[in-house]
Amino acid sequence: MKKLLFFALMVSSSLMSNAQTVPLLDRDLFFGNPEIAGGQISPDGKYITFMKEHQGIMNIFIKGFDEPFEKARPITDSKRPLYGYFWTYDSKYILYVKDNDGDENMNVFAVDPNAKSAGGPLPVSRNLTPMKNVAAQIFLVSKKNPDIMYVGLNDRDPAWHDLYELSISTGKTKLLYKNTERITGFDFDWNETMRAMSKTDEKGNTILYKVGEGNKLTPIYDFNVQESAYITGWTEDNKNCYFVSNKGDLDKSVLFMMDWETSTLTEVERDPMNKVDFGGAIFDSETHKFVGSSYTVDKTVNYWKDDYYKNLYAYLESQFPGKEVSVQSATRDKSKMLIATSGDRFASELHLYDASTKKLTFQYTSRPALKAVEQYLAPMQPITYKSSDGLEIPAYLTLPVGIDPKNLPVVMLIHGGPKGPRDSWGYDPEAQFLANRGYAVLQPNFRASGGYGKKFLNAGDGQWGLLMQDDITWGVKYLVEKGIADKNRVAIMGGSYGGYATLAGLAFTPDLYACGVDIVGPSNIFTLLESVPAYWESGRAFLYGMVGDPNTEAGKKRIREASPLFSADKIVKPLLIIQGANDPRVKQAEADQIVVALRDKGKQVAYLLAKDEGHGFAKPLNKKAMYAEVEQFLASVLKGRAQTDMKEDVAKQLELIKVDVKQVQYAPTEK
């Protein structure tokens, strides 16, 4: 523990304010690899797997159920972070997904943890979808035949995924459905029978079809590009489906029961407070009974329909007061469960729950060094404020610990998307990192953020750089009016759409911010739309609805007005741009363009470019180097605290990804 405290409490005394009693916490606490994470128990209960660092990257380790964690052995040696892993139902294979240096062309891998290695120290991982420039999608992993999974592959047509049956043991595929009709979804019931498909037309309208004999399709439901609807599960007898929709006069989405014969909808449930969309249906993994629902307003709340789950969660929550509790993994018979606990100021932990005895046994703390300094982490407070047109904006405010919350430097931390994602309550490494450096952090769920209803979601259409930006601007004004913010020391920072909002904030409200950090944000919406991945074709009308149709004069005008590149001359404050060279969504050209434009106008711009990253930095060394630069950049402008020391490997990596802006070349397309 002394070593952990020494590691955690690295303090730069030259930068510590006398008024600040909280030590400067090391960057590794927030952005280094966790010591252990992602614990799962095999369905048969014989093994526990988890993620742990192996050769610098989080890989999968395995141990016997009764073995100590120290006895665990690695079973993968990936050089690229995985996007997740899971067991097959028969506990024979572990499946995981990863791409190539951030290109998001996902391949599905299988490893038999009990197989003997082929001359190496680890069992062989087999790539089940070994195709270049193909983004595999997993639709179903069978329980009836655990060697079978149903996947979508866009090898024939990059824009559309055909449906295949894939054998895990052999890697052989069998074409089940050739997608020549803009199919965007396949739905299977609990018996693993394909019951429905959905098609999306060029205008973004979607039709749900019932699948009959010989794949005969019968339309049963339709909705437009500004609405959403989907099957979320089936009744225990597979007769009818649970269906979520916000079609027509509905603002907040509602859970319905759909009669499969007549397509008649009967309302089952909606948010009791009418504040948010239906959040999620929870089904028992074995009986398929509908046992609960969830909604996220400020925090997530579960409503249990089943006494077993109601009593289980009541007991677990009583054991971990003040924390959010969830069943992370369980055996088929639910006799053993891995229980995850978390919170805004807590390092996540995992406990084993024995259902027969109700005994909880501690397994691990994901970041033990962080746990050692939890008293210095800052609470995340839900707040609301009004935007320029009176729309109420929900947000989360994190204030630094140990400082009077007056006249503080501020970082507006803007989430990506924009249409669908939202910020939520819980541990946020960026917010905690910035708060520890002395910044107040505001995370606004601006219009177009998901979960608050159809009207709020679609209120962002055509409002990039306008009302959507006002939602952020008025957040700054709120903090200034409350006396929290020093109006001369406000930064804006974010990734993806948050990166766009950073550029837009500096370009369209140049006096508001002292500086900005753009992480994989688009600068020119024309080139953004021209370069989206082919398999996003079904969402093109959705994108045009948000930003404007480049095929119309009105759309071209709106896009040009909203693109920060064409207002680069108005950017007068320092800017740090961070980009992955393999980003398939916001390509490197988006960063290069704005760098060249600002450089040529003599503006202050810095540039980090990682050759082995995509839409955000996933590799821990790149991530640590990035945040080392971010905190130095913010401290130089906002006068917050910064860790001055840097480990040798991080320093070397930072030099590798730093770009001499004088060398950047780009010839922008005239519009």
Q: Which residues are marked as active site?
A: 496, 583, 615
* Contact status, residue 502 vs residue 520, Cβ threshold 8 Å: no
* Contact status, residue 474 vs residue 387, Cβ threshold 8 Å: yes
* Contact status, residue 335 vs residue 312, Cβ threshold 8 Å: no
Amino acid at 544: Y
- In terms of Cα–Cα distance, which of 338, 368, 363 is closest to 353? 338
Hey, is 98 helix, strand or coil?
strand
The structure tokens listed for 484 are 């929290």
Radius of gyration of the CA atoms of the chain, in A: 25
Distance, in Å, from the CA atom of 375 to the CA atom of 456, rounded to the nearest integer, reads 37
The structure tokens listed for 612 are 């082995």
Hey, is 360 helix, strand or coil?
strand
| C-alpha 128: how far from chain center | 25
Angle between helices 620-638 and 648-657 (to 10 degrees): 80
3-state secondary structure 264-278: CEEEEECCCCCCCCC
For the residues of 588-627, what is the DSSP string, one character each? HHHHHHHHHHHHHTT--EEEEEETT-BSB--SHHHHHHHH
Hey, is 568 helix, strand or coil?
helix
Alpha-helical segments (H) within 394-549:
429-436, 454-458, 467-481, 497-508, 525-530, 540-547
Distance, in Å, from the CA atom of 281 to the CA atom of 270, rounded to the nearest integer, reads 11
Amino acid at 620: P
Distance, in Å, from the CA atom of 260 to the CA atom of 218, rounded to the nearest integer, reads 12
**How many residues are listed for the chain in this entry?**
671
Hey, is 524 helix, strand or coil?
coil
- In terms of Cα–Cα distance, which of 26, 7, 23, 4 is closest to 15? 23
Q: How many CA atoms does the CB half-sphere of 189 hold within 13 Å? A: 17
Distance, in Å, from the CA atom of 389 to the CA atom of 602, rounded to the nearest integer, reads 36
Distance, in Å, from the CA atom of 110 to the CA atom of 126, rounded to the nearest integer, reads 5
Residue 658: DSSP 8-state: B
Distance, in Å, from the CA atom of 327 to the CA atom of 514, rounded to the nearest integer, reads 44
- Give first-to-last CA distance, the chain, whole Å: 60
